[in-house]
């Protein structure tokens, strides 16, 4: 092969196999995209016929941390990736000499733990909420003294969609049973409250050659701690958006990113940007890219881990993405008949539950406010 990249040994060509740890919707959309590019895909997930397996060539049915199963995946794949952050790091290290794992384990190690993540961000010169490590009640009292009310106590690991955290508004909340529960966890973070005007996120990707590409900024609206809407372009000045993108690029360089990374931020009223969280994988707030951009976040992630050159991303149309949780499935299916222009995604999960992410709808639009009104007037998301 001609030497087309700085790291030809890292180049994974069409026809090779991507192994994905985790078989949910992120793995499914990675698999759809990989298949379109002519790759083969094997999923490791304990649930037979999980969403990603429905789009893949094969599945190894086993728990994520099953060392023998990870070894089998490594043996059968040319490159390994994952769709969530709770991957067994030791298991990945154990197979690192058998299969390419371009994302490595450093990024996962850093982003798995909120203290390590925020410390990395601070050291890289990025603004975050003020924070302190909390291991027990004495630490909590000292941290509250320093950061003041309101503040947020979060477990360092394992929290998602608002689980494992509590907002402390006054000294009374120190005695809340949830505070006690979070403290019992033993490895927590207290964050000062950021009075944000908006939440946003940026997807950024980098390959082994060091090419970087960045997606448009998504404005994110949550309901009950779960992403409800993503709106692109975010309704903030272009200069703020550019700064958010530059911050994402800076993080990608600082962490020697390979693959895609979601950067969640708070936007202050004065345009100050605070990095809240990093997701070392495709992200729910990037689903809009499938229809609204020239390349989707999944296509770009696959290109990055295969060390293909990365495209410059263009937004082809303003867009609104709305999540479909268990309680929205029936209503959304009725909307299929009303809105032929809307893209209805369903992840094919066997069981629908309240607040479980079952699908999403992507709406390309010339009028974001009118589209938001259509969503509201449909009454499908009235619980939000
Ligand atoms: P997280 O699990 O860190 O993504 O937090 C869940 C949600 O809680 C965020 O999307 C925010 O809406 C809110 N939140 C978390 N941390 C803070 C903070 N330090 N200041 C203000 N709001 C926060």
Residue with the two structure tokens 């490159």: 79
Any known ligand binding at 259?
Answer: no
> Is the bond leading into 233 cis (omega within 30 degrees of zero)?
yes
Residues 166 and 149: their CA atoms lie apart, in Å, by 12
Any known ligand binding at 239?
Answer: no
Predicted pLDDT at 244: 98
- How many helices and strands in the chain, by DSSP H and E? 12, 17
Residues 267 and 270: their CA atoms lie apart, in Å, by 8
Domain boundaries, the chain: 17-101, 130-192, 196-378
191 close to ligand 1 (CB < 6 Angstrom): yes
Helix axes 137-147, 177-185, angle to 10 degrees: 110
Residues 277 and 157: their CA atoms lie apart, in Å, by 12
Pinpoint the alpha helices (H) of the chain. 25-36, 67-76, 89-94, 106-111, 114-123, 137-147, 177-185, 238-254, 289-292, 297-305, 329-335, 368-377
Give the neighbor-by-neighbor strand order of the sheet with 188-192.
131-134, 188-192, 151-155, 165-168
Residues 21 and 83: their CA atoms lie apart, in Å, by 6
Predicted pLDDT at 161: 64
Q: How far apart are the first and last CA of the chain?
A: 54
CATH architecture of 17-101: 3-Layer(aba) Sandwich (3.40)
Q: What is the pLDDT along the chain (384 residues), one digit of tens a residue?
A: 556 788 989 999 999 999 999 999 999 999 999 999 999 999 999 999 999 999 999 999 999 989 999 999 999 999 999 999 889 999 999 999 999 999 999 999 999 999 999 999 999 999 999 999 999 999 999 999 999 999 999 999 987 667 789 999 999 999 999 999 999 988 999 999 999 999 999 999 999 999 999 999 999 999 999 999 999 999 999 999 999 999 999 999 999 999 999 999 999 999 999 999 999 999 999 999 999 999 999 999 999 999 999 999 999 999 999 999 999 999 999 999 999 999 999 999 999 999 999 999 999 999 999 999 999 999 999 986
Contacts of 104 (CB under 8 A, 6+ apart): 256, 258
164 close to ligand 1 (CB < 6 Angstrom): no
149 close to ligand 1 (CB < 6 Angstrom): no
In terms of residues, how long is the chain?
384
Q: Which residue has a Cα nearest atom 12 of ligand 1?
A: 225
Of 58, 55, 32, whose CA–CA distance to 44 is shortest? 58
Give the neighbor-by-neighbor strand order of the sheet with 79-82.
58-61, 40-45, 17-21, 79-82
Predicted pLDDT at 356: 97
84 close to ligand 1 (CB < 6 Angstrom): no
Q: Which residue has a Cα nearest atom 15 of ligand 1?
A: 152
Predicted pLDDT at 1: 55
Residues 243 and 229: their CA atoms lie apart, in Å, by 22
Residue with the two structure tokens 């509590």: 166
Any known ligand binding at 38?
Answer: no
Cα–ligand 1 centroid distance for 11 (angstroms): 38
Query: Is there a common fold for 17-101 and 196-378?
Result: no
Closest approach atom of ligand 1 to CA 220: 10
Cα–ligand 1 centroid distance for 114 (angstroms): 12
Any known ligand binding at 348?
Answer: no
- 196-378 folds as D-amino Acid Aminotransferase; Chain A, domain 1 (3.30.470)
Predicted pLDDT at 158: 82
Contact by Cβ (8 Å): 352, 332: no
Task: Among 3.40.630.30, 3.40.228.10, 3.30.450.40, 3.30.1490.20, name the CATH number for the domain at 130-192.
Answer: 3.30.1490.20
Any known ligand binding at 250?
Answer: no
Provide the 10 A C-beta neighbour count for residue 354: 8
Q: Which residue has a Cα nearest atom 16 of ligand 1?
A: 152
Provide the 10 A C-beta neighbour count for residue 77: 24
């Amino acid at each position: 092969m001609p030497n087309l990249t700085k790291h030809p040994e890292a180049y994974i060509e069409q026809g090779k196999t991507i192994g994905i740890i985790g078989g949910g919707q992120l793995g499914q959309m990675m698999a759809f995209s990989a298949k379109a590019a002519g790759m083969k895909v094997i999923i490791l997930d304990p649930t037979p016929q999980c969403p990603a397996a429905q789009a893949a060539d094969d599945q190894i049915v086993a728990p994520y941390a099953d060392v023998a199963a990870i070894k089998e995946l490594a043996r059968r794949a040319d490159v390994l990736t994952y769709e969530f952050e709770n991957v067994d790091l030791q298991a990945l290290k154990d197979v690192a000499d058998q299969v390419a794992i371009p994302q490595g384990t450093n990024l996962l190690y850093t982003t798995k733990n909120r203290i390590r993540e925020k410390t990395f961000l601070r050291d890289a010169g990025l603004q975050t909420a003020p924070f302190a490590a909390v291991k027990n009640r004495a630490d909590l009292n000292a941290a509250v003294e320093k950061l003041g009310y309101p503040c947020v106590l979060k477990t360092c690991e394992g929290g998602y969609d608002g689980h494992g955290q509590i907002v402390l508004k006054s000294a009374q909340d120190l005695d809340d049973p949830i505070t006690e529960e979070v403290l019992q966890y033993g490895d927590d973070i207290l964050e000062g409250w950021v009075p944000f005007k908006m939440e946003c996120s940026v997807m950024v990707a980098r390959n082994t050659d060091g090419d970087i590409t960045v997606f448009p900024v998504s404005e994110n609206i949550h309901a009950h701690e779960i992403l409800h809407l993503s709106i692109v372009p975010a309704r903030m000045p272009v200069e703020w958006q550019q700064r958010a993108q530059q911050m994402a690029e800076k993080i990608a360089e600082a962490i020697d990113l390979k693959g895609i990374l979601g950067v969640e931020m708070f936007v202050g009223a004065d345009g100050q940007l605070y990095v809240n969280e990093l997701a070392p994988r495709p992200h729910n707030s990037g689903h809009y890219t499938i229809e609204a951009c020239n390349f989707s976040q999944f296509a770009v992630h696959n290109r990055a881990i295969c060390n293909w050159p990365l495209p410059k991303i263009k937004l082809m149309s303003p867009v609104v993405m709305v999540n479909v949780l268990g309680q929205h499935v029936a209503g959304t299916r009725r909307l299929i008949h009303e809105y032929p222009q809307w893209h209805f995604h369903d992840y094919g999960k066997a069981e629908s539950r309240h607040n479980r992410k079952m699908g999403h709808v992507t709406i390309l639009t010339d009028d974001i406010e009118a589209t938001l009104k259509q969503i509201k007037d449909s009454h499908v998301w009235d619980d939000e």
